[in-house]
Every structure is written in C-alpha cells, then in structure tokens.
Chains A and B, each alone.
Chain A
Amino acid sequence: GAGVSQSPSNKVTEKGKDVELRCDPISGHTALYWYRQSLGQGLEFLIYFQGNSAPDKSGLPSDRFSAERTGGSVSTLTIQRTQQEDSAVYLCASSLDRGRNSPLHFGNGTRLTVT
C-alpha cells in the first residue's frame, strides 16, 4: 500500500521567498506530524495534527512557520520569508492515532535549501 508521500523531494529557494511543503499521509491515519532534521541533529518536533486540529504548535520555531491540514488528510507546512537557517530536511509522519502504541510512518522528506 501507499506510504507517506512528501513533495517536493527537493526545494531550492532564495532567501526571503515563501515555500510550501506538502505531506500526504497514509489513508486512515488520524495523526500527522512535522519534524525538522538538521545536519547532525536529531529530529526537532514542529507540530502535530489530530484530524484537522493542531493541539500543540509549540514546536514551530517562529511565526514565519505555519501548517494546516484539510479533510483529515493532506497537510501543508508553509515557511514565509525563508532564512538560511531554515535549510534542513523536513519530515512528515503519520500514525493511526496519536498514542505511542501507534508506530510512526515517515515520508522520505523534503530537503529545503535556502540560498
């Protein structure tokens, strides 16, 4: 079956531009998560959705970052006025529900480079 799909796989943008990253979770998975992975770092939690609601936005690094999820399915992470420090791999994961008994299924990530 289809796994978690992320697009684009690579994105190069100029500093100051806005970018949108898309995540298509596994069908039926109610929980969806966004992480940022910088070189040599672990996973930095950004935000998660239960259905279309985001109960915890505390991981978003600044107000330039926002995310939404529609129809309990596709999610978009938007970064406005990109900065060079935003360069990283952005990973999306989904799980059947948000409980720790539900394994996370990850997409292959979007590698963002801000020049």
Chain B
Amino acid sequence: AQSVTQPDIHITVSEGASLELRCNYSYGATPYLFWYVQSPGQGLQLLLKYFSGDTLVQGIKGFEAEFKRSQSSFNLRKPSVHWSDAAEYFCAVGAGDSNYQLIWGAGTKLIIKP
C-alpha cells in the first residue's frame, strides 16, 4: 500500500543549528514528492517539490530536500534554523496525476530552542 512515514513526531533544535527532517515513502512508481509547512494557526504552504531531474531540490526559506530512490526517502534540510522556522512540516507523495491523490505524512513539529 502507498504510504508516507515521518518517523519523528517532534524535533527540538537550537537556533542556528542544522536541521534534517525525515520522510520515507512507499510507492510503486516514480514518486512526486512535496514538503509543506504549517505555521501555528495557519494553513499549509508549499516549501518545495520533486518531480524529476536533479535529486537535490531547493525550496523557499532556505530549505532543500534530497530524493534518494534507493532509500525511498525525501529528507528536508536546512543549514541553520531561525526561530521563525518553528512550525509543523508535512511530507506528501503524489500517488496519481491529481492533487487530490496526495498521500500525506502525519507531520513533524519543529521546536526551536533559543
């Protein structure tokens, strides 16, 4: 069955430290992969997406993610986090041609220590 796993429910990182949020997926074909961010009290915003080509994709707010087919992973990274990055991060896999077919992970809540 198609699925998306975000193993970490929450992660605490010191401001200025590096960040990696994990995302693993199970999907039979070449996946379309997304990361969205949800700030407190807000809706979700697209950070970045991978469809094909270069496996390292750059997104907004200084985030990047790397698609690793052999590990079925699409981990999100940022070299140095800011307090404003505190939010919940969702990984999603496109299971078909349409947006409504996205499969969502349960999210990882990022807490920033001052």
Residues of A within 8 A of B (CB): 3-4, 31, 33, 40-43, 45, 48, 56, 91, 93, 95, 98-109
B104 within 8 A of A: yes
Distance in Å: Cβ of B49 to nearest Cβ of chain A: 8
With A42-B90, A91-B44 given, is the CB distance from A104 to B104 under 8 Å? no
Find out whether the CB atom of A42 lies under 8 angstroms from the CB atom of B43: no
Find out whether the CB atom of B99 lies under 8 angstroms from the CB atom of A104: yes
Taking a contact as CB atoms closer than 8 A, the residue among A41, A45, A91, A101 that contacts B43 in the complex is A91
Residues of B within 8 A of A (CB): 4, 9, 32, 36, 38, 41-46, 49, 51, 90, 94, 96-102, 104-107
Ordered by A's residue number, 6 sampled pairs between the chains whose C-beta atoms are within 8 Å are: A33-B99, A43-B90, A100-B99, A106-B38, A106-B43, A108-B41
Distance in Å: Cβ of A98 to nearest Cβ of chain B: 5
Taking a contact as CB atoms closer than 8 A, the residue among A33, A100, A104, A108 that contacts B97 in the complex is A100
Find out whether the CB atom of A100 lies under 8 angstroms from the CB atom of B32: yes
With both beta carbons as reference points, the residue of chain A lying nearest to B95 in the complex is identified as A100
With A100-B32, A107-B43 given, is the CB distance from A42 to B107 under 8 Å? yes
Find out whether the CB atom of A48 lies under 8 angstroms from the CB atom of B99: yes
Chain A residues with CB below 8 A from B38, complex form: 106
Nearest 7 CB-CB pairings of A with B? A106-B43, A42-B104, A48-B100, A43-B104, A42-B106, A106-B44, A103-B46
With A41-B106, A100-B94 given, is the CB distance from A108 to B99 under 8 Å? no
Distance in Å: Cβ of B8 to nearest Cβ of chain A: 13
Find out whether the CB atom of B100 lies under 8 angstroms from the CB atom of A45: yes
Distance in Å: Cβ of A48 to nearest Cβ of chain B: 4
